[in-house]
A and B are shown apart, each in its own frame.
Chain A
Amino acid sequence: MVKVDTKVTLCGIELDNPVIPASGTFGYGYEFAELYDINCLGTFSFKGTTGEARFGNETPRIAECPSGMLNAVGLQNPGVDAVISEELPKLAKVFNKPVMANVSGFSIDEYVTVTSKLEKEPQVGWLEINISCPNVHGGGMSFGTDPVMAGEVVSAVRKVTDKPLIVKLTPNVTNIAEMARACEAAGADGISLINTLLAMRIDLRSRRPLLRNTTGGYSGPAVFPVALRMVYQVSDAVSIPVIGMGGVSSAEDVIEMMMAGATAVEVGAANLVDPFASRNIIADLPGTMEKYGIRSLREIIGAAH
Chain B
Amino acid sequence: MKQGHFTIKENTRLTPTTWRMTLEGDTSAITAAGQFINIRLDGHFLRRPISVNDVEDGIVTIIYKVLGHGTEEMTSFAPGKTLDILTGLGNGYDLDKAGDRPLLIGGGVGIPPLYLAAKWLREKGCEVTVILGFNTSEEIYYVDEFSSLGCEVLVATADGSTGIRGFVTDAFDAAGGDFTHFYTCGPGPMLRAVYDKVFKTAGIAGQMSFEERMGCGFGACMGCSCKTITGYKRICKDGPVLRTEEILW
Contacts and interface: CB of A to CB of B under 8 A. Distances in A.
A147 interface: no
Contacts of B46: 62, 64, 69, 272-273
B235 to A, nearest CB: 8
A300 B100 CA distance: 68
A272 B212 contact: no
Nearest to A66: B45
B216 interface: yes
A69 B45 contact: yes
Interface residues of B, number: 25
Contact of A63 (B1, B213, B218): B213
B48 to A, nearest CB: 10
A59 B225 contact: yes
20 contacts: A24-B222, A25-B216, A25-B220, A31-B237, A35-B1, A55-B225, A55-B232, A56-B225, A59-B212, A62-B46, A62-B215, A62-B224, A73-B221, A73-B225, A220-B45, A271-B216, A273-B40, A273-B46, A275-B218, A275-B220
A67 interface: yes
A272 B215 contact: yes
> For the complex, would chain B's binding face be called helix, strand, loop or mixed by DSSP majority?
loop
Contacts of A111: none
B217 to A, nearest CB: 8
Interface of A: 24-27, 31-32, 34-35, 47, 55-56, 59-69, 71, 73, 76, 220-221, 269, 271-276
A67 B42 CA distance: 11
B223 A61 contact: yes
Nearest to B221: A272
Nearest to B223: A62
B175 interface: no
Interface string B42-59: 001111000000000000
Contacts of B47: 273
Given A59-B212, A60-B213, A67 B220 contact: no
Contacts of A67: 45
